[in-house]
Structure 1
Amino acid sequence: MNSRVSFGIKNIFSLASRERCMTNFKRLTIPRYGKIPTDAGSVLVPVCKVGDKPSLLYTVRSTNLRTNSGEVSFPGGRTDQDESPVQTALRETYEEIGLPPDKIDVWGQGPPLPGRNNKIMITPVIGSIETLSHEDLTINVNEIAEVFTVPIEMLCESKNQFYTQFSNGFILPVFVIEEYKIWGITAYITHSFLSSVLTKDVYKNDWMKKKIVLDKVTDK
């Protein structure tokens, strides 16, 4: 009899899944290139239940922003003086989408990862909102154009999984969900979270071996 435990989507909010996730997430492989940036920031990886479906929440950055405008990202930003990564993630989430810290159950944080163009080290913080409704959100339109959620089961479907190779040689996963293209550091954190919380019989995205390239994704 096979006694191996399968960690699936339905029990993703359980204590066992949470502990498994953070044990694995803290062991993330950190892509490195060049000199380590001195600037720091963090993002929140919001795990939420929309209806009865465990989902991840993403934002679309405003086209008015000077950097990464119009791109899909997690809520987050630069760290203020003397802030911890968790404090930064919670503050930025509240400032961007109006979700208050007391609605978020923080699981923990992973290691800092180099952001785009290696200009900032970004610490991913995982937090859950077991039941999310539109009334919980107040979007700051100066920073955020849109908020959307993606059921985790859709991120696990191979038809939505791709990869891209950047001009610096890095190969990273890409997710395409309807009109949304999730790529760069946001896709890498998404993949790392799913790999940490779910077992391989549930999340099977072996993107390094697939050889499926999304040509539309380029390193600007």
Structure 2
Amino acid sequence: MDISGLRVAYEGHTPTLMGEQGGSAVLVPLVRQNGEYCLLYEIRSAAVRQPGEVCFPGGKREPGETAIQCALRETREELGIPESAVTVIGEMDFLYIRAGSLLRPVLGEVDPAAVAAMRPAPEEVADTFLLPLRELRAHPPEVYAYQQPVAIPDFPYADAGVAADYPWRPCRIEVPVYRGLPHPLWGITARITMDVVDKL
């Protein structure tokens, strides 16, 4: 049996999510404002999915696009901040957000002049705001957990050689919630925020 296809597939391979169906990336924008570092957030417009929620600029990666390229492109499209105004610090740990999809956050420092001159796209962004890292560190989030039950009614137990009462393990998901901020900050955006603050 010829294994040359395996060599082509795996030699020098950069691991990603097995069976990935698509992915997305966000820029996590650091901005120096009034002598301290802040994170820049968006509020989604009423015209997009999850309207009114707080997020970072980002979206789906296009074919052949890296996470950094995607994050910078989406930031330009959503906020009018050019790629040249962002100094990429590095890629953060990715998040598994649903079946077959990874979210790749990219940490970058944004020129304050570009933030002052940004022009958010109204069809995507209702508003923007800055939160100082100092304030986020002083008020850590509360973390809540929920479980997603497993339901596979047509699973071929006999063919798999397992009993019909197989003890499937439900998925446990943690959801952080920051309280007392000007806008609600929770979920994936809060998890990314926590990761930045934890590494200060």
* TM-score scaled by length of structure 2: 0.73
Which structure 1 segments of 5+ residues have no match? 1-31, 199-220
Bigger Rg, structure 1 or 2: 2
Match of residue 25 from structure 2: 42
Query: Which residue, 45, 49, 54 being the options, matches 1:72?
Result: 54
Native 8 Å contact 1:45 1:56 kept in 2: yes
TM-align CA RMSD: 2.1
The amino acid across from 1:163 in the alignment is V
| 1:59 maps to which of 29, 42, 45 | 42
User: Using the alignment, how far apart are the partners of 2:92 and 2:43 within structure 1?
Assistant: 23
Structure 2 partner of 1:182: 185
* Amino acid aligned to 1:42: A
Structure-to-structure mapping, 1:64-213, within 5 angstroms: 64-65=47-48, 67-115=49-97, 117-118=98-99, 120-132=101-113, 135-158=116-139, 161-168=141-148, 169-196=172-199, 198=200
Q: Please report how far the alpha carbon of residue 179 of structure 1 lies from its aligned counterpart in structure 2 after TM superposition.
A: 3.3
Conservation of the 8 A alpha-carbon contact between 2:23 and 2:60: yes
Once the two structures are TM-superposed, the CA of residue 53 in structure 1 deviates from its matched residue by: 2.1
Alignment deviations for residues 55-86 of structure 1 (CA, whole Å, 9 cap, x no partner): 00010111111x22211111000001111100
Q: Which has the higher contact order (CA 8 A, sep 6+)?
A: 1
Contact 2:25/2:68, CA 8 A, preserved across alignment = yes
Distance in 2 between the 1:43 and 1:132 partners? Answer: 21
Question: Shift of residue 111 of structure 1?
Answer: 3.4
> Distance between the aligned counterparts of 1:187 and 1:100, measured in 2?
25
Give the % identical residues.
30
CA–CA distance in 2 between the matches of 1:59 and 1:77?
13
TM-score, length of structure 1 as denominator length: 0.67
Q: Indicate how the Cα distance of structure 1 residues 134 and 126 shifts in structure 2: closer, same or farther if over 3 A, else same.
A: closer
| Ranges in structure 2 where 5+ consecutive residues have no aligned partner | 1-16, 149-171
Return the letter of the residue paired with 2:124.
Answer: E
CA distance, structure 2, for counterparts of residue 40 and residue 194 of structure 1: 24
CA shift, 1:145, in A, is 0.6
- 2-structure distance, mates of 1:133, 1:82: 28
Paired amino acid for 2:35: D
